[in-house]
Amino acid sequence: MADPILDIRGLSRSFGALKATDDVSLDLRAGEIHALIGPNGAGKSTLIKQISGEIAPDAGEVRLRGRSLAGVDAAGRARLGMARSFQVSSVAPEFTVLQNVVLSAQGASGASFRFFRPVMRDAGLLGTAHDCIAQAGLSGREAVPAAELAHGERRKLEIAMALALRPALFLLDEPMAGMGTEGATALGDLLDGLRHRAPILLVEHDMDAVFRLSDRVSVLVYGRVVATGTPDEIRADPEVQRVYLGEEA
């Protein structure tokens, strides 16, 4: 089997006495959706932040295509191809949808110190942006400032921005939260197609989506990975049922 795109080894991070992640190892292989589930406060977002470089781990390392990312900051990791969405929508509120996505495309292009040409007339960036907006299901809302979007629409904008980075992999922190059944279904279909472009590490509490989409599922409890397996294996795991799934399994 090919080497994993993303390889996480022994990541630990404590906040005071609390071990938010505790010696977590997992990997993300080409073409897969790897779901990360676990109770609230298990450390999923903390793990994503360590992968994306927003917070530094106390121990352990992250490798992207075999290359260690130690010392690379969040912006550097984004340039290396990590696209992430935030659990709480994080966009530029005064920018329009289009400007937000163009910003993302510009980031991917790596050239932000250009002082002369108007960016909103850059055909290349605009093309990418319109594409991604359409894929995320936001067509027609390009000119609306992000602050005026309804909650669910802002979630979609996050997805569009991640797409525009043309990433090597996606780190999605609860992308479906707040989206509504219809939106979640559409997003599921989108992710389903996306995995072949770039693998996805998906944190989600929407179990329908998780079991429908993922190739593998890891379960994080109190900062530790307690199980990894196929959706069916996880669904059947009594421990996972007890601490996380409840009667839903």
Ligand X SMILES: Nc1ncnc2c1ncn2[C@@H]1O[C@H](COP(=O)(O)OP(=O)(O)OP(=O)(O)O)[C@@H](O)[C@H]1O
Using CB under 6 A, list all residues that contact ligand X: 15, 18, 20, 38, 40-46, 87, 148-152, 180
Residue 146 structure tokens:
């992000």
- To the nearest whole angstrom, how small is the minimum distance from the Cβ of residue 119 to ligand X? 25
- CB-side neighbour CA atoms (13 Å) of 161: 28
Among 151, 232, 233, 239, binds Mg ion (CB under 5 A): 151
Q: Which is nearer to another protein, 90 or 230 (CB)?
A: 90
Interacting residues with Mg ion between 79 and 138 (CB under 5 A): 87
Among 19, 79, 197, 224, binds another protein (CB under 8 A): 79
Measured from the CB atom, is 2 or 246 closer to another protein? 246
Residues in contact with another protein, counted by CB under 8 A, come to a total of 75
Q: How far is the CB of 158 from ligand X (least distance, A)?
A: 13
| Residue 1 CB, nearest approach to ligand X (Å) | 29
Q: Pick from 33, 6, 14, 8: which is nearest to 172 by CA?
A: 33
- Which residue has tokens 């530029």? 92
Q: Is residue 248 part of the contact set for another protein (CB under 8 A)?
A: yes
113 part of the interface to another protein, by CB under 8 A: yes
| 128 counts as binding another protein under rule CB under 8 A | no
2/115 with CB nearer another protein: 115
For CA atoms 106, 107, 108, 110, give the dihedral sign: positive
Environment class of 226 (CB within 10 Å of its CB; exposed 0-12, middle 13-18, buried 19+): middle
Binding status of residue 179 toward another protein by CB under 8 A: yes
Q: At what angle do helices 180-194 and 151-164 cross, to 10 degrees?
A: 10
CA atoms within 13 A on the CB side of 220: 28
How many whole angstroms separate alpha carbon 213 and alpha carbon 202?
10
Q: Does 189 bind another protein (CB under 8 A)?
A: no
14 binds, among ligand X, Mg ion, another protein, none (CB under 5 to 8 A by kind): none
Q: Which amino acid is at 146?
A: A
Which is it for strands 200-203 and 6-15: parallel, antiparallel or unpaired? unpaired
Cα distance between residue 43 and residue 45, in whole Å? 6
Rounded to a whole number of angstroms, the minimum distance from the CB of residue 48 to ligand X is 8
Binding site for Mg ion (CB under 5 A): 45, 87, 151
